[in-house]
Amino acid sequence: MSWTEERVETLKKMWGEGQSASQIAKELGGVTRNAVIGKVHRLGLSNRTGGGGSAKAAPKEKLAKPAATAAPKPEPQVKTEAEAEEKAPAAPVSVVPAAAAPARRQIIPAGQPLPPQPSANEISPEALASVREVEKKAKKLTLMDLTERTCKWPIGDPATEDFWFCGLSVQQGKPYCEAHVGVAFQPMSSRRDRKR
DNA sequence: CCCTGATTCGC
DNA sequence: GCGAATCAGG
């Protein structure tokens, strides 16, 4: 792949929007984030200070960090919500069991969304099976061990010691591993309004 | 561990 | 000019 005008355009646009090099690389395809970064530098727009442009300077001194960190970000960071087409979770399986909160306040991770709860509603048998299977391999992470890419599916009873989080690798962008995404995000089709 | 951007340097 | 490898951080 080469840097056609079009691709450079996309690069500039995305970089300007504050997209990360890897995201840009993914979007463009055929290039790595390194390539993107390299290009960004060659284009002379390393510092996302797009604006007037002539502002050079990039005193990138290694070491020596003036205590100028507490200062607020001069970066508006205009996030374009151009990416929010994720399908809504097929209705949080079962009502969020807020009541399940034991004596201790169960704080759910930092993640963003949600805390489902198994509740074998109308989950496909296959999905359930694989979930059971996966839960055996679960890494049994604790709240604190959860990260951006560890499956946050809760397993067990929060009120007891038999409680942990799946912890396997999440599926790109999702909060759960493949198996759990399978039961968390039902394809509508299998959810059919049972009665109503 | 995952991810960021920054730099270097052979091609 | 290009970008993998490497570096430095978070």
Tokens of A35: 């390539």
Distance A84 CA to C9 C1' (A): 29
Nearest to A118 by CA among A106, A107, A130: A130
* pLDDT at residue A57, rounded to an integer: 38
Task: Please say whether the dihedral angle defined by the alpha carbons of residues A53, A55, A56 and A62, taken in this order, is positive or negative.
Answer: negative
Protein residue closest via CA to C1' of C8: A62
Q: What is the pLDDT of residues A124-152, one digit of tens each?
A: 666 676 777 777 777 677 777 777 778 88
Provide CB contacts within 8 A for A43, sequence distance 6+. Answer: A8, A11, A12
Lowest mean pLDDT segment, chosen from A1-10, A51-60, A132-141: A51-60
Protein residue closest via CA to C1' of C4: A34
Question: What is the domain partition of chain A in residue ranges?
Answer: 5-60, 125-195
- Which of A24-33, A142-151, A187-196 is the most confident on average? A24-33
Report residue A123's pLDDT band, with 50, 70 and 90 as the boundaries.
low
* pLDDT at residue A100, rounded to an integer: 37
Lowest mean pLDDT segment, chosen from A16-25, A116-125, A137-146, A180-189: A116-125
> β-pairing, A163-165 with A154-156?
antiparallel
Q: What angle do CA A104, A108, A113 make, to 5 degrees?
A: 150
* Contact status, residue A123 vs residue A186, Cβ threshold 8 Å: yes
Tokens of A47: 């510092």
Distance A127 CA to B1 C1' (A): 28
List bases in chain C with any atom under 7 Å of a protein Cβ: 1-6, 8-9
Residue A188, Cβ neighbours under 10 Å: how many? 11
CA A63 to chain centre: 32
Please tell me the distance from the alpha carbon of residue A185 to that of residue A89, in angstroms, as a whole number.
5
Complete DSSP assignment for A75-114: ------TT---PPPPSS-SS---GGG--SS-----SSSS-
Protein residue closest via CA to C1' of B8: A38
Phi, psi of A58 (to 5 degrees): -160, 55
Residue A180, Cβ neighbours under 10 Å: how many? 29
Tokens of A7: 């691709």
